Amino acid sequence: MSNQTSYVTQQKKTVGDLAVDGLLTGMAASLAMGVALLLLQFLDGVGPAELLGRFDPANDGSAAGGGLMFLAVAGLYGVVYAVVYRLLPSSSMIWKRFSWLIGAIYGLGLWLAAQYIFLPGFNSALEAIPSSHFAVAHLVYGVTLGYLWGRSLSS
């Protein structure tokens, strides 16, 4: 009977790896955010096509264009999160343990930026979404992003 042990060497991720991981994690978190926003808007009588159409940058109300823009922006924010997270001191395990909380703070920061900086100046259809719904959706995005990112660090 042979006792063989296999060792896997852990290599430090490149910036490209980090960007791809952030993009995919951000897009996955956007699905959770989208579900939360769809449920909240459904309670107000807004259908999925109308909601996604509000994300259309051309303001044509295209659900397909809005959905793709929603995924793209959420993916980009995931990349930013990954880079910011990488800049945190890695010596402390607290960052891994509370990655969901860091994500929640990040998500609420995105909501504040959208609510008070980006949306007011662009006459966007997104302003029709109640601020409370937008805040909850961004919180769901951030918590999910942080949780998924923390899990990816453990594997």
Q: What is the pLDDT of residues 76-131, one digit of tens each?
A: 999 999 988 888 776 456 667 888 999 999 999 999 999 988 888 777 888 889 99
Q: How confident is the model at residue 150 (pLDDT cuts 50, 70, 90)?
A: confident
Evaluate whether residue 6 is within a structural domain: no
Query: So what's the pLDDT on residue 91?
Result: 46
CA distance readout (Å), 15 to 18, 21, 80, 81, 117: 5, 10, 12, 13, 29
Evaluate whether residue 2 is within a structural domain: no
Q: Is the dihedral of CA 68, 70, 71, 75 positive or negative?
A: positive
Higher pLDDT: 66 or 91? It is: 66
Please give the tally of structural domains in the chain: 1
> Taking a C-beta distance cutoff of 8 angstroms, is the pair 63, 81 a contact?
no
> What residues make up the domain containing 119?
15-154
**Residues 74/75/80/85 CA torsion (nearest 10 deg):** 100
Evaluate whether residue 149 is within a structural domain: yes
Evaluate whether residue 83 is within a structural domain: yes
Evaluate whether residue 50 is within a structural domain: yes
Over residues 45-68, the mean pLDDT reads: 89
Q: How confident is the model at residue 3 (pLDDT cuts 50, 70, 90)?
A: low
